[in-house]
Amino acid sequence: MPAIKKSTMQQLSPTGELISDGFIASAKHHATKSINDGKQPDMDKATQILVKATTVITERYNLPRDLRDSLIAVAAEVLMIAHKEEVQNQEKVKAA
């Protein structure tokens, strides 16, 4: 049995590894380009894109509404964590 590589996200099947690692590599490229271009993170834009992607996937693959809602909830949790971290960073800058 061939060894299964550890993904940067989780342990997946070989096909899952290719999809996952390719997706992350592509996202890192886009993020690096945006950072180099001087763009600032936009929480509203991130939320809009995540909701749109979730809606398209749900409609295209006829996923149940509860799965769509779960995907949106996960995205919301990630965005809340990112927001909390940014607020903390701004408070540190103000205190300095």
- pTM exceeds 0.75 for this model: no
How confident is the model at residue 93, as a pLDDT? 85
pLDDT tens for 56-81 read 888 888 888 888 788 778 777 877 77
Task: Give CA–CA dist 13/3, Å, rounded.
Answer: 11
Rounded-to-10 torsion of CA 53, 22, 18, 57: 10
Summarised one tens digit per residue, pLDDT across range 14-62 is 665 566 667 677 777 777 888 889 888 787 787 788 778 878 888 888 8
Give the C-alpha separation, 13 to 19, whole Å.
Answer: 10
- State how far the alpha carbon of 92 is from the alpha carbons of 17, 41, 81, 86, in Å: 38, 19, 17, 10
